[in-house]
Structure 1
Amino acid sequence: MGGICCVELIPVLGDHALHAATGGLLDEALADPEYLVLADPDRLVPQLTHATTPQARLAAAVYRHSRDHHTHATPDLRRRRLAIDAARYNAPTLRDALNHRTPAGTWAPAWSTGSNTSPALLDVLTGHTDWVRSVACTVLDGRPTAVTASDSSVRVWDLTTRTCIDAIPIHAGAVAVIEDRLIIITGPDIALFHPNPRSSDPERI
């Protein structure tokens, strides 16, 4: 697949993930390293679960590894980071294809350990500006949901769409969910939230 074709496929894959997956278009696109470099991360990542061939699934795993860095990176930086991740996943063909377009005179990865890699990684949820210190999981309205605490906020994530559905401006040391109630420990206080934070204020106990 050539560079022109891969650019033309970006909006097609972004709007028709299921069609692309069933038609084999996604696997073909993931086989092109330049598609990984140029595609919109926010539109591509949700489609990666539809990859079926070994080559496409490996490319998907490589892409997910630094997914949180791809959104704001230039194509050159994204290409170089993907090459490093390809080395981590022992994908020499993909690594070399990415290195081939690296500007002359720049360092290109040849090998890397893979201690932090995992084929089970589905996505990276971004939004916090510091280390996540606490995580709690539950089901709200029939949808798997995660609650994370970091910096000066608590975030609620829809794990189906992998998007943040609420951000609570509160400093939290730990979070827990018990009987559909969100409990946030804030130093000497404990804040209790109802399932729908848009319809109620926290209760301090």
Structure 2
Amino acid sequence: MKLFRIKVCGVTSAQDAALAASLGADAVGINFYKGSRRHVPVSEAAPIVAAVRGKAVPVAVFVNELPETIESVCRLLKIDMVQLSGHEPPAAARRLKFFRIKAVHLRDGSELNLYGKYPCEAFLLDTSVPGEFGGTGKPFDWGKIEGMKPGKPWVLAGGLTHENVAAGIKTLHPDGVDVASGVEAAPGKKDQNMLRSFINNAKEAFEYARKH
């Protein structure tokens, strides 16, 4: 399994999931963290997964959840990629037999040094906001990580919109990008025009970065 390039996170309906996939997103994030405004109960997630099966990769997002719960949810829904967005200890991540993305919430960029040996397949670099675990709509200072080599495939997140995603890709050369609030009309409700613009701009920037 390989890492996605464009992930639309915080999807709360099968309709939005299908829309994101049809517009070119190759992953959608389903947030199982009960403290999130975009929380999806496990009992309501199957239609979202079904809407993108074979078109985009469903990613299960958890915050400080027990490994056995993550295992149970992902087996039930047949999800093979998980995002750990809390303060999950390495021992917990090591127990998971999925493609693991570890979210690292940045203040000055040094936080990444703490995760050099973390058991995961990719990193997601997001903005650090006290009491929040992603989806804040606030970008971090890209200058703090410009030229940094995370050592694994990585995803740029944090306050991305159709207006700044191209600059983020061209400046930092991430392997993927992640958007939630930047394509929403309201928390958990995606906007078709914003989605289309974001995905098109990201695709063009990835193509540009590949050639340069």
- Fold agreement, TM-score > 0.5: no
Which of the pair has more CA radius of gyration? 1
Q: Relative contact order (alpha carbons < 8 A, sep ≥ 6): 1 or 2 greater?
A: 2
Give the TM-score normalised by structure 2: 0.28
Give the TM-score normalised by structure 1: 0.28
Is the helix fraction higher in 1 or 2? 1
